[in-house]
């Protein structure tokens, strides 16, 4: 039966597992808390560009290196991002990236950008539960690429030093494949001990997919990875998928830079067999983004620790939202979101959506969708009396679909700039039917 009721919530990190059982493990109920953070950020180690520089009309990337792989002759080229203004924003020299001489650093740049430890401490002070730094691995500070590169070691140490009982800092890097061959697209790797530079000769997405399952973790918890700000045609149309890469590449950035939505890329990846769960990567290139960006990645985790949060990402218990504190979860046939279900043709959903901001009418929940393969909407629940707490329990008969996921709307369209109540504000992890 469909019903709506209002419930006042005292705190954000409330477990609703007592209201809706979320599955069992060894015969006992698993209780998940909901934690909010960001999975994509750039510190001053991404020195080639960011908030540390004054704004100019310069654009484009000029490249110096071998004319062809294996060629002993190095030359300048216009690179893979052409300049239309006569000046360049970046140079890439022998596969590593740095700002061009046309770029000018702000005199007080430390106020707008900082090292990983500054990012972690600012995110902690802002109330993030977790925060991942993901500097470009092709930055000159990471040359030569190594697990013991001083800047990379400093990033990993900063994450350990900033973590406490109330906040989890996690190191990562961005594998930025810009020029192919074999497809283009950026991917975050989170909690790995080493890193890989996409611009090195011979490194492409296929090489990266082979490397990914061999990557060792840098601390507690698994290595996980995320497709970043994808469109439907990047990553060679999401081709080249392997079982090993699928097991690690469990996330996809549905929300990027606070309010840019990459829903078509999400559908394209799912339809190509990638088992990815939505995240929000603020993709801030400075400290100011921590203060002003409101979109969040949410995880359903057993505790606020690095191991538990990464386990949630590994097992796809995530959602992305334009509202910074909405509480979402669902199960299907007793299995928590992100699961691959036992074989069935009947899918019993138990969906629970709540928002603690009961004094804000814009946060009232107005609609919930269940979506399947190809973006087809299976069923919609238009909440008859919009409120701050909705429980919906439909049963869907289906004998052909490979996945389902849930979308949520509210009255205000979320907290980010450009909010539109006619569009979804949250995308929840799929469940897979095992077909």
Task: Output the pLDDT for position 22.
Answer: 43
For the record, the structure tokens of 55 come out as 């704004």
DSSP 53: B
- What confidence score (pLDDT) does residue 301 get? 98
Residue whose C-alpha is closest to residue 358's, from 314, 331, 389, 379: 389
Cα–Cα distance measured from residue 219 to residue 241, given in angstroms and rounded to the nearest whole number:
27
Q: Do residue 138 and residue 223 come from a single domain?
A: yes
Let me know whether 212 and 124 are in one domain.
yes
21 pLDDT band, cuts 50/70/90, is very low
258 and 396 housed in the same domain: no
Checking if the pLDDT of 13 tops 80, the result is: no
Q: Tell me which residue range forms the domain holding 9.
A: 1-31+330-435
Q: Which residues does residue 192 pair with via DSSP β-bridges, in sequence order? A: 217
The H or E element spanning position 382 is strand 376-387
CA distance readout (Å), 314 to 172, 258, 311, 363, 433: 15, 23, 5, 30, 18
Same domain, yes or no: 163 and 275: yes
Of 108, 112, 74, which is closest to residue 93 (Cα–Cα)? 74
Number of domains in the chain: 3
Do residues 301 and 228 share a domain?
yes
Indicate which CATH number applies to the domain containing 210: 3.20.20.140
Q: Give yes or no for a contact between 249 and 225, defined as CB atoms under 8 angstroms apart.
A: yes
Distance, CA of 124 to CA of 117 (rounded, Å): 11
Q: Are 155 and 45 in contact (CB under 8 A)?
A: yes
* Confidence band of 336 (pLDDT split at 50, 70, 90): very high
Same structural domain, 254 and 273: yes
Token pair of 342 as six digits = 């036992």
225-244 pLDDT, tens digit per residue, is 999 999 999 999 999 999 99
User: Given this model, what pLDDT does residue 18 score?
Assistant: 33
Judge if 357 and 317 occupy the same domain.
Answer: no
Half-sphere exposure of 243 (CA within 13 A, CB side): 0
> 336 and 278 share a domain?
no
Backbone angles phi, psi at 153, to 5 degrees: -65, -35
Same domain, 27 and 43: no
Q: Do 355 and 325 form a contact (C-beta atoms < 8 A)?
A: yes
Average pLDDT over residues 413-418: 94
| Pairwise CA distance, residues 77 & 74, whole Å | 10
Last residue of a domain, one of 257, 289, 321: 321
pLDDT in tens, 183-211: 999 999 999 999 999 999 889 999 999 99
| pLDDT tens figures, 92-125 | 999 999 999 989 999 999 999 999 999 999 999 9
Question: In this structure, what CATH number is given to the domain that contains residue 22?
Answer: 2.60.40
For residue 62, pLDDT beyond 80: yes
d(CA 243, CA 13): 34
Give the pLDDT band (50/70/90) at residue 79: confident
CB 259 within 8 A of CB 221: no
Q: pTM for this one?
A: 0.92
- Number of Cβ within 10 Å of residue 149's Cβ equals 17
Nearest CA among 271, 231, 276 for reference residue 249: 276
Stretch 44-67: mean pLDDT, rounded? 92
Closest alpha carbon to 93 in 103, 112, 79, 104: 79
Q: DSSP characters for 60-123?
A: -EEEEEESSTT-S-EEEEEEEE--SSSS-SEEEETTEEEE-TT--B-TTGGGT---HHHHHHHH
Last residue of a domain, one of 299, 321, 343: 321
- Residues 98, 113, single domain; the answer is no
> Are residue 371 and residue 268 in the same domain, yes or no?
no
Per-residue pLDDT tens over the stretch 251-281: 999 999 999 999 999 999 999 999 999 999 9
375 and 242 housed in the same domain: no
3-state secondary structure of 429: coil
């Amino acid at each position: 039966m469909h019903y709506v009721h209002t419930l006042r919530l005292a705190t954000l990190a409330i477990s609703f597992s007592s209201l809706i059982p979320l599955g069992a493990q060894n015969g006992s109920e698993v209780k998940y808390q909901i934690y909010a953070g960001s999975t994509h950020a750039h510190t001053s180690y991404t020195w080639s560009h960011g908030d540390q520089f004054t704004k100019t009309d310069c654009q484009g990337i000029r490249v110096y290196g071998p004319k062809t792989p294996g060629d002993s002759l190095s030359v300048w080229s216009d690179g893979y991002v052409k300049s239309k203004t006569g000046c360049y924003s970046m140079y890439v020299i022998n596969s590593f990236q740095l700002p061009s001489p046309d770029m000018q650093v702000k005199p007080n740049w430390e106020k707008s950008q900082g090292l990983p430890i500054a990012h972690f401490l600012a995110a902690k002070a802002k109330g993030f539960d977790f925060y991942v730094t993901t500097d470009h691995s092709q930055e000159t500070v990471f040359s030569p690429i190594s697990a013991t590169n001083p800047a990379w070691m400093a990033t990993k140490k900063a994450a350990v030093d900033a973590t406490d009982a109330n906040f989890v800092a996690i190191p990562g890097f961005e594998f930025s494949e810009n020029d192919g061959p074999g497809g283009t697209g950026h991917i975050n790797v989170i909690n790995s001990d080493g890193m890989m530079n996409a611009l090195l000769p011979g490194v492409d997405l296929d090489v990266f997919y082979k490397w990914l399952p061999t990557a060792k973790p840098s601390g507690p918890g698994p290595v996980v990875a995320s497709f970043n700000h994808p469109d439907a045609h990047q990553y060679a149309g999401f081709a080249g998928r392997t079982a090993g890469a699928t097991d690690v590449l469990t996330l996809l950035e549905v929300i990027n830079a606070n309010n840019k939505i990459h829903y078509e890329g999400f559908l394209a990846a799912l339809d190509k067999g990638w088992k990815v769960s939505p995240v929000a990567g603020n993709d801030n290139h400075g400290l100011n983004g921590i203060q002003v960006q409101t979109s969040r990645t949410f995880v359903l985790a057993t505790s606020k620790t690095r191991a538990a949060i990464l386990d949630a990402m590994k097992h796809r218990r995530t959602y992305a939202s334009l509202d910074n504190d909405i509480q979402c979860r669902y199960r299907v046939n007793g299995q928590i979101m992100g699961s691959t279900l036992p074989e069935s043709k009947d899918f019993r959903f138990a969906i629970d959506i709540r928002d603690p901001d009961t004094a804000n009418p814009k946060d009232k929940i107005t609609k919930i969708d269940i979506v399947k393969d190809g973006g087809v909407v299976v069923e919609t629940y238009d909440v008859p009396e919009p409120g701050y707490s909705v429980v919906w329990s439909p049963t869907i008969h289906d004998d052909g679909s490979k996945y389902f996921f849930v979308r949520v709307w509210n009255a205000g369209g979320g907290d980010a700039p450009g909010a539109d109540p006619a569009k979804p504000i949250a995308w929840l992890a799929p469940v897979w039917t095992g077909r």
